[in-house]
Amino acid sequence: MIADSRESTAGGLRRTFGVFQLTMISVGATLGTGILVILGEAVPVAGPAVWIAFILAGATALLSALSYAEMAGMVPVSGSSYSYSYATLGEGAAWVCGWCLVLEYAVSVAAVAVGAADYVNETLRVFGLALPPSLTTGPEVEGGVINLSALLVVVLATVLLMRGARESGVVNTIIVFVKIGILVFFCLVAFTAFRAGNFTPLLPMGAAGVSAAASSVFFSYIGFDAASTAGEEAKNPKRDLPRAIIASMLIVTTMYVLVAIAAIGARQWEWFESSTAPLVQIVHEITRSDVAMLLFAVSAVLAILSVVITVLYGQSRILLTMARDGMVPRVFGRVSPRTGTPLVGTLIVGVLVAITAALIPLGELANATSIGTLFAFCLVNVAVICLRLRRPDLPRSFRVPFGPVLPALGSLACAFLMINLGGVTWAVFGAWMIIGFVIYLAYSRRHSRVGALTEADYRASIEA
Residues pairing with 234 in the sheet: 17
457 lies in a domain?
A: no
181 lies in a domain?
A: yes
Residue 56 pLDDT > 70: yes
Helices (H) and strands (E) in the chain, counts: 20, 0
459 lies in a domain?
A: no
The domain that contains 47 carries what CATH number?
1.20.1740.10
Alpha-carbon span 231 to 105, nearest angstrom:
17
Residue 458 pLDDT > 60: no
462 lies in a domain?
A: no
Q: Do 371 and 429 contact (CB within 8 A), yes or no?
A: yes
**Could you report the per-residue pLDDT of 206-243, keeping only the tens digit for each?**
888 898 888 878 777 766 666 666 666 677 777 777 78
463 lies in a domain?
A: no
Q: How confident is the model at residue 195 (pLDDT cuts 50, 70, 90)?
A: very high
Residue 153 pLDDT > 80: yes
- Rg over alpha carbons for the chain, rounded to the nearest Å, is 21
461 lies in a domain?
A: no
User: What type of residue sits at position 437?
Assistant: F
458 lies in a domain?
A: no
Q: Within 164-232, where are the H helices?
A: 165-190, 206-217, 223-228
- Rounded mean pLDDT, 65-75: 78
Give this prediction's pTM. 0.75
- Rounded mean pLDDT, 349-368: 74
Q: Do 370 and 417 contact (CB within 8 A), yes or no?
A: yes
Residue 245 pLDDT > 90: no
Share of the chain residues as helix, strand and coil, in percent rounded to the nearest 5: 80, 0, 20
SS (H, E, C) 313-353: HHHHHHHHHHHHCCCCCHHHHCCCCCCCCCHHHHHHHHHHH
Q: How many domains does the chain have?
A: 1
Range of the domain at 124: 2-452
Task: Quote the pLDDT of residue 165.
Answer: 54
| Main-chain dihedrals φ then ψ at residue 185, nearest 5 degrees | -60, -45
376 lies in a domain?
A: yes
CA distances from 115 to 33, 297, 330 (A): 9, 12, 33
Alpha-carbon span 38 to 118, nearest angstrom:
12
